[in-house]
Chain A
């Protein structure tokens, strides 16, 4: 046979293979997967060599949405030759289904080191906990992702977990940040502004962490005084003034340092009341975090979000118990 004809036939065979699976705009993107059917809601396809990230990039336009494909299919289904579905729309942004509902645990750390203080988690423990999250398919998401979820607009990956660290101790930069970078996990650090450059995190360290794209810095009051407890000798007017200062000062200071207005606030000692919440709202803060040990559903009140304290003297069993990502519904 004429070599030109042979090449043309080969080309046709290739085109047929590719074409069947990926008509239209997808043909160039997912050369080896085969589209079985597609409409505005779903793509049903036989997987080629692509992984979830590539498929998400090809079909959802963003590889970071890989979890939407993983969550819509049985575990381990995204393998060559398997048939899978890709939902093109988010039809359940609240994560509530017939059997129960999705909840997001927010972990609350303080310091890192080996002094044996209850609030101090050793770097070895922290690594063990991050490894546990990775090995068990937990998805560590930024706190900001909760905004859309709490509005009922944005679905979150199954087994989502948020990491937060309070106070702004320097061990966050020295011990926790390298580990977070290694695992690629985002975290929110809540600092009280009087502590910054005064025993706590330094401006340079904060800048380095923010530049990494993994760390978000947010306010945790000015002095770390309890905002819900009226101090001895303090009248109501003085109390309200103190609350205002404790919210406004760190918010403005951080906006100045980071160049972005903070959006979240962690209450010192996890205590809050209506005055404090009003003050947060007046300053454009969107989430308020307590240390009430529960997880958060899509219908959680954004100004009293729950967090679980991670203590250094608790074992990995207690850590596992804090990771409640789904609650069954009582029928």
Chain B
């Protein structure tokens, strides 16, 4: 009998404790992962994000705070205020985005729609607008890609090469990887590596050889501007070797060599009185760029006999 009474009393106490204990606990617990059990932690984070303009982040944090402190009216008020702010700002941003689309300012429109989604990630209007823009740009870039494929198909047919088997697939993808590289201007070394790999495998791909030559000429131009003439010469030699056998392209490079040689000849003239040693250096380089330049050769002879 005593045991039964004790059991009943204990059970009742347990039920009461179970009902009330957790709520009390939630307000004072500070955890090792940043006080996640303390609503103040979340409110502070939310305030910081709100100040920064990150309303979505702030709203998330206020909601967690509300979970922890259900009766806190200030938190509820902050949520309401934030929701209304988000609603106002998204409407304004979408209107601005739509206007930008009408004016053909696509980058601006994209930025505005993304800003909207940054505030409200499920905003249907902004999401739909972004989808339309993405579809348009994807279709455009696909058209460019298909144009490359068409060119490739025609050139392959011209050469009457077989259009089947793995070799052809590898060839096509290998070309695509080069021609579609989005970061080509920023990653010249990467582009050259890809081109060299491709040409080693497909030495008869003149389009890629020409692209390699052009890229090397671009490097030569940069080096020349930086007055690094030794590198300029190396790049030009590599540009020539890429199109070896193509008379027209070799003539273009010879023309560039002559221009660089002329530039150095004039630099030499300018410094010949004040710095004859420097002038000699310029002329020696000029002769390397254009070994047939008689004027430069005479200048070197003259300065050496002085």
What is the interface of chain A, defined by CB distance below 8 A to chain B?
A: 2, 4-5, 8-9, 12, 15-16, 19-21, 23, 34-39, 41-44, 46, 73-74, 77, 81-85, 91-99, 101, 110-111, 117-119, 152, 167, 224, 226, 228-229, 231-232, 269-274, 290-294, 297-301, 304, 309, 311, 313, 329-330
Secondary structure class of chain A's binding surface, majority of residues: loop
**Contacting residues, chain B, for A5 (C-beta < 8 A):** 3, 6
B70 sits at the interface (CB 8 A): yes
Secondary structure class of chain B's binding surface, majority of residues: helix
List the 5 closest A-B pairs by CB distance, nearest first. Answer: A83-B31, A83-B36, A98-B54, A299-B130, A301-B135
Q: Name the distance in Å between B230's Cβ and chain A's nearest Cβ.
A: 29
* Chain A: CB-nearest residue to B68: A37
* Chain B: CB-nearest residue to A291: B176
**Contacting residues, chain B, for A118 (C-beta < 8 A):** 170, 173-174, 197, 201
**Contacting residues, chain A, for B114 (C-beta < 8 A):** 96, 101, 329
What are 14 of the A-B contact pairs (CB < 8 Å)?
A: A5-B6, A16-B18, A36-B36, A42-B67, A44-B67, A83-B33, A98-B118, A101-B117, A226-B149, A229-B146, A269-B176, A272-B142, A292-B141, A329-B118
B270 sits at the interface (CB 8 A): no
- A36-B25, A329-B118 in contact; A269/B173 too (CB < 8 A)? yes
Q: Name the distance in Å between A135's Cβ and chain B's nearest Cβ.
A: 23
Number of residues of chain B lying within 8 A (CB) of chain A:
74
What is the interface of chain B, defined by CB distance below 8 A to chain A?
A: 3, 6-7, 10, 13-14, 17-18, 21-23, 25-26, 29, 31-37, 49, 52-57, 60, 63-64, 66-68, 70, 111, 114-115, 117-119, 121-122, 124, 127, 130-131, 133-135, 138-139, 141-143, 145-146, 149-150, 153, 157, 166, 169-170, 172-174, 176-177, 180-182, 197, 201
Q: In the complex, A37→B31 CA distance in Å?
A: 14
Additional pairs, 5, CB under 8 Å, beyond known A83-B31, A293-B182: A152-B124, A228-B149, A271-B146, A273-B146, A290-B142
Q: Name the distance in Å between B55's Cβ and chain A's nearest Cβ.
A: 8
**Contacting residues, chain B, for A92 (C-beta < 8 A):** 56, 121-122
Q: Name the distance in Å between A121's Cβ and chain B's nearest Cβ.
A: 13
**Is A85's CB under 8 angstroms from B35's CB?**
no
- A23-B22, A269-B172 in contact; A292/B149 too (CB < 8 A)? no
**Is A309's CB under 8 angstroms from B173's CB?**
yes
Q: Name the distance in Å between A234's Cβ and chain B's nearest Cβ.
A: 11
* Chain B: CB-nearest residue to A230: B150
Q: In the complex, A327→B180 CA distance in Å?
A: 20
Q: In the complex, A145→B29 CA distance in Å?
A: 38
**Is B127's CB under 8 angstroms from A23's CB?**
no
Q: Name the distance in Å between B87's Cβ and chain A's nearest Cβ.
A: 16
**Contacting residues, chain A, for B138 (C-beta < 8 A):** 292, 300-301, 304
**Is A46's CB under 8 angstroms from B149's CB?**
no
**Is B29's CB under 8 angstroms from A23's CB?**
no
**Is A229's CB under 8 angstroms from B10's CB?**
no
Q: In the complex, A74→B294 CA distance in Å?
A: 73
Cβ-neighbour of B14 out of A16, A117, A330 (below 8 A)? A16
**Contacting residues, chain A, for B57 (C-beta < 8 A):** 97-98
